[in-house]
Amino acid sequence: MTPSRWSTVLRRVTTEGPYINERMSVLVLTVVVVAGISAVAYADKSVASVSLAPLYFLPLALSALVHPLRISLALSIVCLVLHNLVGSARDVGTELLVKAAITLLGYVFVVVVVNQLGAQRRRLAEFAERQRDELANEIQLAAEVQQGILPRSVPRVPGFDFAARMYPAKTVAGDYYGFIELPKGEIAVVIADVSGKGVAAGLLMPSIEVALRLDAPRFPSTSDLLHTFNNVVCEITGGHRFISLFYGKLYPQSQSLEYTNAGHNPPLVIRAGTDPSPLDKGGPVLGVLPNAHYENEKITLRQGDVLVLYTDGAVEAENPAGEQYSTERLSKIVSLHLQQNASELIETIYTSVIDFRKTPSLADDLTLVLLKKL
């Protein structure tokens, strides 16, 4: 075995405890036990003034952690014999037998107690492992359900190019995006971010999906829809969790977009030769203020315009120096690649964020929805 392999095994043994099911760890600890017994025997022989029999408890206790009980009991007898052969005691007859019996009883007691503690530790570890595996399976199932909620395809509307992608920071994300086809031919575009991360945030996603799909056709105005939806979120969360959400309604015939922004990162309308236009008209985040007031606004989309919807996992991504990616970088990267289609632009943005972070991992969910006017 190479020195690095030995150091790895020793580090795991000393920092994380013995691994009964790992042969190498057992081998290392066995060597330590034998070395410990030998060292105590040598010291017992060298020191004539005092009995060192109690020092055998240390290697015996370690043996009881990693070896079957019968082996540790056998080692107890070996330690007793070694002590009587090389130790300083010079007792004979009944006195020797009594001391030997007491010493052996002490060894056996320590071995049995430590062995039972080790067995209990292993049972707890196995139970924790089973619980961990069950939780991992449930989280994976939740992730699969979540992926099933997200759109399987993007709308196909003449004159417009759609694309969307979610990059979860964990198995289950707190972001959401969706497209809703409305009765009169309009297309609703939604992006949302539930406060927090992971499973707790992801559990609210089905509520967003169901409530929006049920209510969207009933409200001609985006602001009226979010006013009602805000009250629904308040009831669901009890004010303990909030949702930032952007809801836009695309009118293909008039090439316009009506929208209401409920505290979400303002989407950007990016067109060549002009500064990006943030879509920030709306109201507060959902789930905090019952009966909150929301406004709406309508904009016209021109040929070549790109509408970028995003969550804070994009613009708040940090590099090793603690600097954020920012909306300025986002709008600049889009402006430099306006010739790309929507799907290519999403990949370009994501690659830019990853390059900026200098690591492939994400600290927060990153979701992008793009709409390009052809």
Query: Could you give the 3-state DSSP secondary structure of residue 336?
Result: coil
Taking residue 272's Cβ as centre, other Cβ atoms within 10 Å add up to 11
- pLDDT at position 61 is 86
Share of residues in the chain with pLDDT > 90 (%): 43
Q: Report the range out of 101-110, 118-127, 136-145, 257-266 with the highest average pLDDT.
A: 257-266
Write down the domain spans for the chain: 3-141, 150-373
Contact 3, 10 (CB under 8 A): no
- Say which residues have a Cβ less than 8 Å from residue 124's Cβ, sequence separation at least 6: none
Contact 115, 72 (CB under 8 A): yes
345-356 pLDDT, tens digit each: 999 999 999 999
Contact 30, 67 (CB under 8 A): yes
Q: Does domain 150-373 have CATH number 3.60.40.10?
A: yes
- In this prediction, residue 48 has a pLDDT band, given cuts at 50, 70 and 90, of low
pTM above 0.85, yes or no: no
pLDDT of residue 37 exceeding 90, the answer is: no
In this prediction, residues 200-224 reach a mean pLDDT of 81
In this prediction, residues 279-297 reach a mean pLDDT of 95
- pLDDT at position 342 is 97
- pLDDT at position 49 is 66
Distance CA(349)–CA(368), nearest Å, equals: 9
Contact 89, 102 (CB under 8 A): no
7-36 pLDDT, tens digit each: 665 555 555 554 444 677 778 778 888 888
Range from 142-146, 192-196, 220-224 carrying the lowest mean pLDDT? 142-146
- pLDDT at position 10 is 55
Q: What is the b/e burial string over 119-142, where b = at least 16 CB atoms within 10 angstroms of the residue's CB?
A: eeeeeeeeeeeeeeeeeeeebeeb
- Parallel, antiparallel, or unpaired for β 243-251 and 282-283? unpaired
In this prediction, residues 86-108 reach a mean pLDDT of 72
Q: Where are the alpha helices (DSSP H) in 47-68?
A: 57-66
Distance CA(157)–CA(175), nearest Å, equals: 25
191: left (phi over 0), alpha (psi -120 to 50) or beta: beta
Largest Cα span, the chain: 111
Distance CA(11)–CA(5), nearest Å, equals: 10
Q: Report the range out of 124-133, 148-157, 172-181, 184-193 with the highest average pLDDT.
A: 184-193
- In this prediction, residue 276 has a pLDDT band, given cuts at 50, 70 and 90, of very high
244 forms beta bridges with 193
- Parallel, antiparallel, or unpaired for β 282-283 and 268-270? unpaired
> Could you give the dihedral angle defined by the CA atoms of residues 298, 304, 305 and 307, in that order, rounded to the nearest 10 degrees?
110
Q: What is the mean pLDDT of the chain?
A: 85
Share of residues in the chain with pLDDT > 70 (%): 85
Contact 259, 297 (CB under 8 A): yes
- pLDDT at position 18 is 47
pLDDT of residue 199 exceeding 70, the answer is: no
- Say which residues have a Cβ less than 8 Å from residue 93's Cβ, sequence separation at least 6: none
